[in-house]
Amino acid sequence: MRAVDRLTFPRALHPGAWWLWALGMAVAASRTRNPVLLGLILAVTGFVVAARRTDAPWAHSYAAFLKLGLVVIGLRVVLQALLSTRSQGNTVLFTLPQIPLPDWANGVKLGGEVTLEALLTALYDGGQLAVMLCCVGAANALASPRRLLKSLPGALYEIGVACVVALTFAPQLVTDARRIRAARRLRGRTRGSFRTTAMPVLEGALDRSVELAAAMDSRGYGRTAHVPQAQRRLTAGCVLLGLLGILLGVYALLTESMAFPLAASALAIGLLLALGAMAIGRQRVTRTRYRPDPWALPEWLVVASGAIAAGAMVTAAARGVPGLLLAGPLVVPPVPLVPVVGVLIGLAPAVVAPPQVRRAIA
């Protein structure tokens, strides 16, 4: 057995494995509005992040996604309170001042009676979106964006450079905000305005991103070889059609707006076109990889755990297992066994992922 296949060999897991695991957990969250299952998915992703994150700057971004999820839930509840109607429930909690609207806005109200059923529905819907955001935040906290760039195919290399610069910008916001708050506390200032905090944070993150872009450009990132114009057009067309197919298939699978066979077919066609375009477009980029990230047994186990969690939830939704969707806001939801087991299998990366070196791994 190779050293990279051992679960106890300290190394950084392939970033693609973390993203595939997180996407599997996000798919599982998209198939249910049961608050128990959503809370379980959130606990699973949080535990894996706490167990396998490093000391890198991006590893502390999970808390920012948690706060963003709370903001999403709050906005959803506030909008529901302002725009809800009496038809959504009969248990009136309180009454807001109602603003009269013109005749062309007939059927829309702003203010008025706010029911308990409407608020609970908004809470469940906002919780679902918040948990999906936290799944993305888990991938962002566990996977290095710079190492992810090395794994991208040649056809997406230029896009990957731009994405890495953008992804480097976001985690630095969290790091700089902590540094500025610590400096303010050392000066004896416990409170500060948004302007005095936001401007240094944005300036520091932007400066580091520009430095990263300049360093990547000086090392030859983005240089391409000469290929015929017809081949470039064919590659661009296949990439565009493939991405459209992937977006359509993923959106249909997440929102259930299309029949499952049709959504799966669109996703499969999009993946085939995208893979074909990548195979053709890789000829444009002539580069070598220094110490490429291995894909070994731990990567397969991590991806399999996310796939099992998503598969269990999708299968339960297709079979109409009770408990995934609520019969009513005030009804105590049952907890189905198979989805719970599938989500708990998502905890596997906390054990099967190799222990990472407690330092920033770029």
Give the pLDDT confidence score for residue 360 in this predicted structure. Answer: 41
Q: Does residue 358 lie within any of the structural domains?
A: yes
d(CA 347, CA 213): 36
8 with 97, same domain: the answer is yes
Name the residue type at position 138. A
Give the phi and the psi of residue 114 in degrees, each rounded to 5. Answer: -115, 120
For the stretch 138-150, pLDDT in tens is 998 888 777 777 7
For the stretch 73-85, pLDDT in tens is 999 888 887 876 6
CA distances, 186 to each of 120, 180, 191, 201, 235 (Å) = 43, 10, 12, 18, 55
113 with 188, same domain: the answer is no
Give the pLDDT confidence score for residue 88 in this predicted structure. Answer: 64
Find where tokens 């969690």 sit. 309
245 with 273, same domain: the answer is yes
If we measure between CA atoms, which residue out of 27, 29, 26 comes closest to residue 39? 29
Give the phi and the psi of residue 111 in degrees, each rounded to 5. Answer: 100, -165
Find where tokens 């799944």 sit. 135
Neighbours of 203 (CB within 10 A): 11
Q: Does residue 289 lie within any of the structural domains?
A: no
Q: Which long-range contacts (CB under 8 A, 24 or more apart) does 1-4 make?
A: 2/296, 4/294, 4/296, 4/297, 4/298
259 with 164, same domain: the answer is no
The answer to whether the pTM exceeds 0.95 is no
31 with 96, same domain: the answer is yes
21 with 84, same domain: the answer is yes
Name the residue type at position 151. S
Number of structural domains found in the chain: 3
Mean pLDDT, each 10-residue run in order, the chain (362 residues)? 77 88 91 90 93 80 89 88 69 76 69 79 89 91 78 66 64 73 75 69 75 72 66 75 80 69 80 77 62 83 93 87 76 84 93 71 42
243 with 140, same domain: the answer is no
92 forms beta bridges with 115
d(CA 161, CA 212): 10
114 forms beta bridges with 94
For the CA atoms of 297, 298, 299, 304, what is the dihedral angle to 10 degrees? Answer: 90
Give the phi and the psi of residue 330 in degrees, each rounded to 5. Answer: -95, 5
Give the pLDDT confidence score for residue 204 in this predicted structure. Answer: 76
158 with 251, same domain: the answer is no
Helix (H, G, I), strand (E, B) or coil at 333: coil
If we measure between CA atoms, which residue out of 295, 329, 276, 344 comes closest to residue 17? 295
Domain end marker among 181, 196, 224 = 224
Name the residue type at position 241. L
112 forms beta bridges with 96
20 with 62, same domain: the answer is yes
- Residue 177 is given by DSSP the state H
| Domain coverage including residue 255 | 225-284
Chain centre distance of CA 21 = 10
Give the pLDDT confidence score for residue 344 in this predicted structure. Answer: 94
293 forms beta bridges with none
The structure tokens listed for 185 are 């506390």
Q: How would you class 145 by CB atoms within 10 Å of its CB: exposed for 0-12, middle for 13-18, buried for 19 or more?
A: buried
The structure tokens listed for 130 are 């918040």
What counts of helices (H) and strands (E) characterise the chain? 12, 2
| Contact between residue 128 and residue 72 where contact means Cβ atoms under 8 Å apart | no
- Residue 190 is given by DSSP the state -
The answer for residues whose C-beta is within 8 angstroms of residue 18's C-beta and 6 or more apart is 138, 139, 142, 143, 302, 349
Give the pLDDT confidence score for residue 281 in this predicted structure. Answer: 65
219 with 236, same domain: the answer is no
307 with 240, same domain: the answer is no
Helix (H, G, I), strand (E, B) or coil at 151: coil
74 with 171, same domain: the answer is no
